[in-house]
Amino acid sequence: MNISPLQKARYEYNPKLPAILRGKLTNLSPVSGEPTCPVADADKIKEFCPHTCFLPAVSFVEGKHEGLTRAMTVGVILSGGQAPGGHNVISGLFDGLKALNKDNRLIGFKGGPSGLISDSFIEITEKFLAPYRNTGGFDIIGSGRTKLETEDQFDKCIATCRSHGVNAVVIIGGDDSNTNAAILAEYFIRKNAGIQVIGCPKTIDGDLKNDNIEISFGFDTATKTYSELIGNLERDANSAKKYWHFIKLMGRSASHIALECALQTQPNVTLISEEIEENKTSLSDVVDYIASAVAKRAANGNNFGIVLIPEGLVEFIPEVKALIGELNDLLAKEGNAYSLLSNDKARQEFIASHLSTTSATAFAFLPDGIRKQLLMDRDPHGNVQVSRIETEKLLIELVTQRLADWKKEGKFSGSFNALNHFFGYEGRCAFPSNFDADYCYSLGTNAALLIACGLTGYLSSITNLSAPADQWKAGGIPVTMMMNMEQRHGEQKPVIRKALVDLKDKPFTYFAQHRDTWAVETAYTYPGAIQYYGPAEVCDRPTMTLLLEQGK
């Protein structure tokens, strides 16, 4: 590894901790609050998680707690997609463990959950850890998408942990991984394995949150990275004055990323999947909405603009969702007859004739290329692959058509030239912002304390995040508190409920109040690159979402 000047400088950074975690960790004690309750289906959750359901939230105060200094060996895994700050969770965990007892050990299982199952590991030492402090990426031990779900897997985890004398496992992951962490914690209790499980809330998507998990880590850095680029494109659009940039942003389920980026950059159009689903907006209406903004701006002589599109958009448009469902059913049922058809035209006609009227209309509305793509690119189960649809290009094509129609009708007299972008992978491994560097280091330090207190099935929880770091609070909540029952693979299962964009909450309502102005005016804000040094208001500011949620 050839170290960049910034990376070298970042090694010197001391992440800021909540005041309570700055002193001697051995002088702390957990305080239990009221019992917690799952977000829904409490009785069912209790059946699946009898030992960890209804447990109280805990917080740390000064005081003495028995056993905090007992020698421990802790395992840690990174699970799922990368998010900036993962290395700092591990740094905080390591430093926290060593502060509690210098003989404590930390073992990293490699390549995600599969490393825990197959016992692929590396012992994390100060020397090994040093070059990863305050850096992006999950490369310290790698990550993976294996799901810890079966009892066979759980038993293998026990065997691995026993062979290393591991007392506790820290799972750094998103909603799925933390759901599995809760189930694993229950299994370990049931089997009397003597192994605790603590989760840390990770995902750039920002959809793992409640009152105690104010934000998942990585959301801050990723949205700032995307907003840097969006701001740069806004400034480019406003300089060249001839392009509309259609920018798709990562985030398949929730539109938090698009919303946060909109709040940071004030683009002309931002689509929010949750609103489109709520309002049952049709694809044609989405196109109308964008085309109207283009036409209004053109009328003012501004033939340029910015459109933000959440990655998962099309799956939230009711008619497209229904179409996809029907297509999958149809291709499963009539696959043989369909496969005998010799050309595109025959195939498309066959499909159209077998769809419901609504879906046939939706199908006909799609551009030819997209129709072909839907029918050809199917996954191993024969299902159409919605994720392959390049939504940003689809919208450009449909808006171009709509504007051409309007031009004929005299309703549009401008020009429309559009470019498309997709920002996702670019933000997952950026150097964590000071916020994420501090937050993650705190989450890790705090996880060490939760383990030392003997807790299991808990998520590390750092709160009051819109205040300066020294005012942050440290504690934990049972994972079950975030759960409800959902249908998975044909069965009702306890899972963490995804926190989608709340159309009644302040971040969205602020956006909704301003978007009509932003659509017509050029009210762009240019955030620029993430700064790690310099004035605090530039370097330490959290996301707009967090500030608005917390009334700031």
Binding residues for substrate, by number, are 203-205, 242-243, 250-252, 311, 425-428
How far does Cα 110 stand from its chain's mean position? 22
Annotation: binding site for diphosphate: 81
Cα separation of 83 and 216, whole Å? 9
CB of 146 to a second copy, least distance (A): 13
137 binds a second copy (CB under 8 A): yes
Which is closer to a second copy, CB of 155 or CB of 236?
236
Q: Sign of the C-alpha dihedral, residues 464, 469, 471, 475? A: positive
Residue 133 interacts with a second copy (CB under 8 A): yes or no: no
Per DSSP (E only), the strands in 149-302 are 168-173, 196-201, 244-249, 269-270
Q: How far is the CB of 245 from a second copy (least distance, A)?
A: 7
Output 140 or 453, the one with its CB closest to a second copy.
140
Annotated binding site: 81, 175, 203-205, 242-243, 250-252, 311, 425-428
Choose between 191 and 235: whose C-beta lies nearer to a second copy: 235
Neighbours of 388 (CB within 10 A): 13
Binding of residue 108 to a second copy (CB under 8 A): no
The answer to whether 260 contacts a second copy (rule: CB under 8 A) is no
Supply the minimum distance, in Å, between the C-beta of residue 551 and a second copy.
19
The answer to the question of residue 239 lying near a second copy (CB under 8 A) is yes
Question: Cβ contacts of residue 273 below 8 Å, gap of 6+?
Answer: 254, 255, 310, 312, 313, 315, 316, 501
**Binder of a second copy out of 23, 50, 335, 528 (CB under 8 A):** 528
Query: What amino acid is encoded at 244 in this protein?
Result: W
Angle between helix 357-365 and 318-333 (nearest 10): 110
Q: Is 246 in the site for a second copy (CB under 8 A)?
A: no
Q: How far is the CB of 487 from a second copy (least distance, A)?
A: 29
Q: How far is residue 126 CA from its own chain's centroid?
A: 30
Q: Counting contacts by CB under 8 A, is residue 467 touching a second copy? A: no
State the binding string over 424-443 for a second copy (x if CB under 8 A, else -): -xxxxxxx------------
DSSP characters for 415-482?
Answer: ---EEEEEESHHHHTSPPPHHHHHHHHHHHHHHHHHHHTT--SEEEEEE-TTS-GGG-EEEEEEGGGG
Burial class (CB in 10 A: 0-12, 13-18, 19+), 173: buried
- Asked if 525 is part of the footprint of a second copy (rule: CB under 8 A), the reply reads yes
Taking residues 109 to 128 in sequence order and writing x for each that binds a second copy by CB under 8 A, - otherwise, the string is --x-----------------
CA distance 312 to 424: 12
CA angle 362, 368, 372 (to 5 degrees): 95
Annotated binding site for Mg(2+): 175
What residues from 217 to 236 belong to the interface with a second copy (CB under 8 A)? 225, 228-229, 231-233, 235-236
Binding mask 385-424 for a second copy (x = CB under 8 A): ----------------------------------x-x---
Which of the residues are catalytic? Answer: 205
Which span sits near a second copy by CB under 8 A: 42-50, 101-109, 210-218, 518-526?
A: 518-526
Q: How many chain residues bind a second copy (CB under 8 A)? A: 62
Of 396, 288, 382, 287, whose CA–CA distance to 328 is shortest?
382
With respect to a second copy, which residue has the nearer C-beta, 263 or 450? 263
DSSP letter at 268 equals: S
Per-residue DSSP letters for 294-319? HHHHHHTT---EEEEEETTHHHHSHH
Q: Looking at beta carbons only, is 137 or 310 nearer to a second copy?
A: 137
Shorter beta-carbon distance to a second copy: residue 38 or 142:
142
If one asks whether residue 138 binds a second copy (CB under 8 A), the answer comes out as: yes
Name beta bridge partners: 35. 56
**Given 2, 336, 343, 513, the residue binding a second copy (CB under 8 A):** 2
Name which position in 453, 541, 542, 543 contacts a second copy (CB under 8 A): 541
Residue 118's CB is within 10 A of a number of other CB atoms, namely 14
Q: Which of 113, 414, 476, 527 binds a second copy (CB under 8 A)?
A: 527
The token pair at 141 is 């031990």
The residues that touch a second copy, with contacts defined as CB under 8 A, are 1-10, 81-82, 111, 135-139, 142-143, 225, 228-229, 231-233, 235-236, 238-241, 243, 245, 264, 266, 419, 421, 425-431, 523-535, 537-539, 541
